[in-house]
Amino acid sequence: MTASFQHEVLVYGTPDELIAGTVPFVREGLDAGEPVLVAAPPASLEPIRSALGGSAAGVRFVDMTEEGRNPGRIIPGVLHAFVGEYAPKRVRVIGEPIWAGRSAAEYPACVQHEALINLAFADYDAAILCPYDGRRLTEAALADAERTHPVVVTCAGRRDSAAYAAPESVVAAFNRPLADPATPPATLVFDADDLPAVRRFVAAHAGRAGLAPNRIADLAVAVNEVATNAVIHGGGPGTLRVWPERGSLLCEVSDPGQLTDPLAGRIPPGLDSEHGRGLLLVNYLCDLVRVHTDATSTTVRLHMRI
């Protein structure tokens, strides 16, 4: 059977429009014997669950504000995990990765995520419907939704998106230099022999910032993975910067290499693969991962909430 992938955006203006656009989509899948996942923030998740009534028992529900708080985790940890669990069987997914509470730092990663869905699942038999709150999201966010989804669904009907763009071009458009630190960062220049010092440096600053011990350990592992990539694949030496900002501790690793795979850290590697797990682990451990790369350097910025 030929894979049939569809990626649609549902623009809703009221709670009733959200239900009218999502519940028939879910019921259609259940009637066809397709596994169904609903991954959304509670403000959408609970009304959909309630409207489904007894049918909700056959649906998997995921709180996107938890499992998808890092947009880089959604493809591997939410979508790919579900699609891969049932492949080659066709599945249906409702995924709402962008809501009004998303921060300005998270938003570019969200748009890149939406674009990368079209690459990551092109060969899978799956239907993904992404609700967007037309009342609370900005006009820019709604315009970006039309760039990342081939089909737009509203209360007026379904239409092809005239603004849909190649995923690579959208990812490139949001591959922008990251904002300067809000406060002077602590800095460490390192090479391959300095990786233990990198871990100690991160742990010390994380402890002073007030991170819990398990979060300190997670952050040290994540930074170590990025730093290892910097000296092995990026041509090192690397530069590590650490600073607090708006309730989070930020750790940034820069190196002179270029990251060329837009899906790096998004697709779990095969069991026999020796590479591809570093950035994937980083996405699982951190609350936000931002990347800027060009021909002269790559910067990976990790956010961990305090």
CATH number of the domain that residue 194 is part of: 3.30.565.10
- 223 and 126 fall within a common domain: no
Pairing of strands 126-133, 91-95: parallel
In a domain, 190, yes or no: yes
Q: In 291-305, which positions are buried (b, 16+ CB within 10 angstroms) versus exposed (e)?
A: bbbeeebbbbbbbbe
Per the domain annotation, does 181 fall within a domain? no
> Is 179 a member of any domain?
no
Among candidate residues 173, 202, 219, the one where a domain is terminated: 173
What rounded mean pLDDT belongs to the chain?
95
State the pLDDT at residue 277.
83
**pLDDT 10s digits, 223-242:** 999 999 999 887 779 999 99
Task: Kindly provide the b/e burial profile for residues 141-173, where b requires at least 16 CB atoms within 10 angstroms of the residue's own CB.
Answer: bbebbbbbbebbbbeeeeeebeebeebeebbee
Q: Domain check: are 120 and 216 in the same one? A: no
Answer yes or no: is pLDDT of 247 > 60.
yes
126, part of any domain: yes
Q: Are residues 205 and 98 both part of a single domain? A: no
Q: Are residues 169 and 192 in the same domain?
A: no
Range of the domain at 120: 5-173
Q: Are residues 115 and 222 located together in one domain of the fold?
A: no
User: 43 in a domain, yes or no?
Assistant: yes
Cβ-Cβ contacts under 8 Å for 222 (sequence gap 6 or more) = 251, 281, 282, 285, 286, 302, 304
CA atoms of 173 and 194, how far apart (whole Å): 35
Is the residue at 178 inside a domain?
no
pLDDT-derived band at 275 (thresholds 50, 70, 90) equals low
Domain boundary among 138, 173, 208: 173
Whether 214 and 301 map to the same domain: the answer is: yes
* Same domain flag for 202 and 250: yes
CA 184 to chain centre: 28
pLDDT score recorded for residue 2: 47
pTM (2 d.p.) = 0.94
In this structure, the answer to whether residues 15 and 158 fall within a common structural domain is yes
Contact of 190 with 197, CB cutoff 8 Å? yes
User: Which CATH number fits the domain that encloses residue 138?
Assistant: 3.40.50.300
Domain closes at, from 116, 139, 173: 173
Give the model's pLDDT for residue 261.
93
Number of domains in the chain: 2
Q: Is the Cβ–Cβ distance between 198 and 188 less than 8 Å?
A: yes
* CA–CA gap between residue 104 and residue 82 (Å, rounded): 28
Chain segment 58-82, per-residue pLDDT in tens? 999 999 999 999 999 999 999 999 9
Whether 162 and 233 map to the same domain: the answer is no
Indicate whether 241 and 148 sit together in one domain: no
Q: Same structural domain for residues 219 and 278?
A: yes
Residues 160 and 206 in one domain: no
Model pLDDT for residues 125-173, shown as the tens digit of each residue: 999 999 999 999 999 999 999 999 999 999 889 999 999 999 999 999 9
Determine, yes or no, domain membership for 180. Answer: no
In a domain, 128, yes or no: yes
